[in-house]
A = this chain, B = another copy of it.
Amino acid sequence: MIIALKTHFRVSYSDTDQMGFMHHSNYLKYYETARWELFRSIGMPYHKIEGEGIIFPVTDISVKYIKPAYYDQEISIDTAIKSLTGARMIFYFLATNENGETINEAQITVASVRKINNKACQMPKSIFNRLKELMNNQ
């Protein structure tokens, strides 16, 4: 799979827990930011999609914790779109630490949902086409 976007974050103090690791729930927050940065990079910031009455809630995640992330480390996230239909897209994420070690890997599925009734829906064609194009160019 070819990576669509590389983003970066630094582990903040509030991300840590008393094991001295970034708490395992925080990866989901950073992966969420990474996927909306991917959308921003192709001219579709997620707040505009929500502005059109569509939301993309998470429906499935699977995460593999390989090594801990520590306070103040700079972590890179590679994001790719793994599959795409009008109603659902699957993202793949790979997190790497400053030493180039893979620390975490995830697959996250989001659905296209109409905000007003919380029902699954086809995403607007304009969004779908732009994502399809991105996938083909990955």
Query: Which residue in B13, B60, B63 is a CB contact (below 8 Å) of A18?
Result: B13
A20 & B18 in contact (Cβ 8 Å cutoff): yes
A17 surroundings in chain B (CB, below 8 A): 13-14, 16-18
Whole-angstrom CA separation of A123 from B97 in the bound complex? 28
Q: Kindly provide the distance from the CB of A2 to the nearest chain B CB, expressed in whole angstroms.
A: 25
Query: Which residue in B23, B45, B57, B118 is a CB contact (below 8 Å) of A24?
Result: B57
Segment among A27-35, A77-85, A88-96 that sits at the interface with chain B: A27-35
- We find that the number of chain A residues with CB closer than 8 angstroms to chain B is 38
Question: Cβ of A68 < 8 Å from any Cβ of B?
Answer: yes
Whole-angstrom CA separation of A48 from B62 in the bound complex? 30
Whole-angstrom CA separation of A120 from B59 in the bound complex? 31
Question: Cβ of A42 < 8 Å from any Cβ of B?
Answer: no
Question: Cβ of A21 < 8 Å from any Cβ of B?
Answer: yes
